[in-house]
Amino acid sequence: MNYEISKEAIDIQAIINKVVRRDVGAITTFIGTVRELTKGKKTLFLIYEAYESMAVKKLEQIGKEIEERWQGSVVAITHRVGRLEITDVAVVIAVSTPHRADAYEANRYAIERIKEIVPIWKKEHWEDGESWMGNQLETVAYPKGRPEEKDLNE
């Protein structure tokens, strides 16, 4: 199970262990955490919600894309859901590859793709209210009802 949605705190080392191989020379780990201040506004805590079965499928898709694009790579991703406090770990991405440059690049690709296609949402709670976050600038529209090829393949 290299792709999971977790209701519990993520064991970072366990995710890393999933991508350990004798023939890799680099493992990069991305740890996404809950930030207190966004543009000067103080977050108290977050709630993450997922369309879990589809989210796991989309994480698997991202892993497949990486393994096709970066030869010999192995990917593991776990995203947490539920209530998270400031500094809690929301997502862990581990990528192993034979050489270091690929491990950095592929890991960056994974987090950017998560922000595009994985059905997970966060609700920010502030002192004066709460709101589901999305593309707040509303710069992204899907006139055809789904992401365009350019959104999916960049």
Partner 1 sequence: MNKVMFFAHLRDKVGKECLLIEASGKTVAELKAEITKEYSLDKMDTVMTAINEEFAGNEEIIQDEDVIAFIPPVSGG
- How many other C-beta atoms lie within 10 A of the C-beta of residue 8? 9
Q: Count residues binding partner 1 (CB under 8 A).
A: 36
Minimum Å gap between C-beta 48 and partner 1 is 7
Phi, psi for residue 149 in degrees, rounded to 5: -50, -40
Q: Which of residues 27-46 bind partner 1 (CB under 8 A)?
A: 32
- Lookup: tokens for 15: 């995710």
Minimum Å gap between C-beta 35 and partner 1 is 12
Dist. CA 116–CA 9, nearest whole Å: 24
Rule CB under 8 A: say whether 153 interacts with partner 1. Answer: no
Phi-psi region at 42: left, alpha or beta (left = phi > 0; alpha = psi -120 to 50): beta
Rule CB under 8 A: say whether 125 interacts with partner 1. Answer: no
Rule CB under 8 A: say whether 57 interacts with partner 1. Answer: yes
Minimum Å gap between C-beta 129 and partner 1 is 13
Rule CB under 8 A: say whether 62 interacts with partner 1. Answer: no
